[in-house]
Amino acid sequence: MRILHCLNWDLSEIKRRIPEIADQKFDAVQINPLQPLKEDNKENWWLSYQPCGFTIGNQYGKKEDLIQLCQVASQYKIKIIGDVIITHMAQKAEMTPHDRVDSHLTDNPYVWREKKNLKGDWEYNDRYKVTHYCAGNLPGLNLYNWDLQDRIIQFLNECIDCGMEGFRIDSGKSIPLPTDEFSPWEGRDARSCDFFLRMQEGLKKKDLCIYIEVLNTAPDLIRKYFPFGLVLTDVEQEELPREALVSFVESHDQYYNWRPGMISPISDTCITDWYCAKAKYFPNTLYYARPFSEEWKNPKMKEANQQKVLKR
């Protein structure tokens, strides 16, 4: 599967360009998150990752636009992949939900994580803290809660009804797993989490393309996500099966945050060459379409997307 990541693209623009995307032999398009936002401002890409609820529609397109896009994409056998944020909501202040966040969430104290923020690499690698604390001072969601789970599953099913054929699950590393085991000391909640199990059971369509973002972690943890989807990761060690991963050269985070206050200085053509090299060995690859760049239309890309994957 070859995925074109179209962050910050209006749905109408993607629909217009589906024939070109198909001609480049991409199999899927990952679209911008469509959850309501705290602010309409396309210059600040990160606002798309501060949602205010679980409904379809924001400045990039409405529900009707999504339906039309999926219909056109289907004609060209292109899958539309939704980028969904389920681990946190938009902030007003440190770990405090924005005023625009859905009242169904703000009125329920049990859907929120405790107001403790992750600090430093040592805590980002503490499995309990990663799955129970907040990150980046954003108000974190408690995915153990069934009311929250049901609202998320309802949202995903609404997307499926519109024609979506898959999802990218943002911040997957912070989503607790049914295999997580915690010692019940210092008041810790030691329960296992059934979010992924209930999601699998509750989704209307079973043959979806789902990939879960799990970055900067050990291969053993990545393996634990395999029962629930492919894993979008920067960890590509030999012990991990390539067919279970979604590989990439550059993410939107890396492009915009190459250095504090700097976008990546690496050339478009260099990224293309690296992508083509990866496509030789990984059956699932994602290419981030940089803003104001048509490099995704490079003939090398078309060739790479069609080549046969080499075995180890």
Tokens coding 288: 């981030």
* Over residues 108-132, mean pLDDT: 92
Q: What is the pLDDT of residues 23-69, one digit of tens each?
A: 999 999 999 999 999 999 998 999 999 999 999 999 999 999 999 99
pLDDT at 19 over 90: yes
Instruction: Give dist(CA 294, CA 178) in Å, integer.
Output: 42
3-state helix, strand, coil in the chain (%, to 5): 40, 15, 45
What's residue 187's pLDDT? 59
Return all residues near 67 (Cβ < 8 A) that are at least 6 apart: 162, 163
Reply yes or no on whether the pLDDT at 298 is more than 60.
yes
How many CA atoms lie within 13 Å of 109's alpha carbon, on the beta-carbon side?
Answer: 2
pLDDT at 188 over 70: no
Q: Could you tell me the pTM of the whole model? A: 0.96
Q: Taking 80 as the threshold, does the pLDDT of residue 183 lie above it?
A: no
Catalytic residues: 170, 213
pLDDT, position 226: 97
Task: Check: CB of residue 119 under 8 Å from CB of residue 133.
Answer: no
The domains found in the chain, sorted by start residue, are: 1-85+268-312 (3.20.20.80), 87-163+172-208 (no CATH)
pLDDT of residue 144: 95
Return the bridge partners of 209, or none. 166
| H or E, element range at 247 | strand 245-248
Per-residue pLDDT of 272-289, as tens digits, reads 999 999 999 999 999 999
d(CA 86, CA 292): 29
